Structure 1
Amino acid sequence: MTNDRADWHKSSHSAGAENCVEVRRGVVVAMRDTQHQGLGHLEFPRGEWEAFVASASAGRL
Structure 2
Amino acid sequence: MDAVTEHMRRVWAHLAAEPDLAARIANGRLAVVGARYELTSLRANKVSRLAAEGRSATAA
| TM-score bucket (shorter structure) | 0.3 to 0.5
Structure with greater strand percent: 1
What's the TM-score, normalizing by structure 2?
0.35
Structure with greater helix percent: 2
What's the TM-score, normalizing by structure 1?
0.35
Per chain length, whose mean CA-contact separation is higher, i.e. which structure has more relative contact order (CA < 8 Å, sep 6+)?
A: 2
